[in-house]
Amino acid sequence: MTLSLAPLALLFMQVGPNPSAGAMPGIPDELANRPPRAESTEPQVQPRLATCLRQAANTPDAALDYAQGWRETATTDLEMAQSAHCLGLALVQLDRMGEAREIFELASAEAPADNLAYAARLNAMAGNAALAEGDMENALVLLDRAGGQALAAPDGALAADLRVDLARVLVRMGRQEDAAEALSEAREADGDDAQAWLLSATLSRRLSRLGEAQQQIERAALLAPRNPQVGLEAGVIAALSGREEAARKSFQSVLDVAPDSPQADQAREYLAQIAPAE
């Protein structure tokens, strides 16, 4: 069906980790434009969608008209979904998040039945729009639905990403045990997702499960040995476990691989707090 709906667009913020406060990273920069994976099953961007997305980024009011006109002449489910996709992004740029959420949900419902991964991405955009509005409950429902669609696709990498996003929201809502379950599902969906292992370690540390945290951060380090966040978290876990020498080595590794990073600044502070080696 053709709906005359106002435009929408989404933007997300990223909050860096703060191990001293035990905080997990906040909502990632994840809107409609999550960087595509090589194995993504999302439909190839067609010329008309590419044109509309450029307009949404630069002249969102014009993109609204373009997308609405496209919807009125669309003849396939994919065209309907892509026109709504563009409409939603234009609404995000105009900071009309409530409308954007509704449009992204519509786009997901209109996506071809044989491409659940695309439907999942669109529902994730809807969830992020809800987050941008501060509507945590709807964000939770939408991100959970998106993750389920990705699992059914099946697209393990996408499912892992979306379960990580769900866990972040659950942490913000104070539901840490549910967040731990979501992260477990992320690791099961894609055992090579370093971010899932890193955030699992961070959450396990916050829950005082240092044995689990150590196992999880070791896996993260195998997958992303030069990630300064991994080195920093490994150091915090080691310090809390009473392994000062291991903590010192982990913090030093952060300085070695990313000396100008925020994580390096934090690592220097932690090193100053650890008793010097005898």
Task: Report the b/e string of 71-99 with b at 16+ CB within 10 A.
Answer: beebeeebbbbbbbbbbbbbbbbbebbbb
Does residue 23 register a pLDDT over 80?
A: no
Give the pLDDT confidence score for residue 277 in this predicted structure.
60
Task: Tell me the CATH number for domain 19-192.
Answer: 1.25.40.10
What's the mean pLDDT in 225-231? Answer: 97
The maximal CA–CA distance of the chain, rounded, in angstroms, is: 76
pLDDT in tens, 145-183: 999 999 999 999 999 999 999 999 999 999 999 999 999
Cα(124)–Cα(129) distance, integer angstroms: 9
Sign of torsion over alpha carbons 94, 98, 103, 109: positive
Give the pLDDT confidence score for residue 44 in this predicted structure.
52
Task: Enumerate the β-bridge partners of residue 107.
Answer: none
Cα(81)–Cα(63) distance, integer angstroms: 15
Does residue 276 register a pLDDT over 50?
A: yes
Residue pointed to by tokens 């997958």: 223
Give the pLDDT confidence score for residue 46 in this predicted structure.
77
What's the mean pLDDT in 130-144? Answer: 96
- pLDDT band of residue 45 (cuts 50, 70, 90) is low
Higher pLDDT, 6 or 153: 153
Dihedral over alpha carbons 144, 149, 155, 160 (to 10 degrees): 0
Task: Give the least confident one: 42-46, 152-156, 184-188, 216-220.
Answer: 42-46
Higher pLDDT, 34 or 77: 77
Q: Of all residues in the chain, what percent are helix, strand and coil, respectively (each to 5)?
A: 70, 0, 30
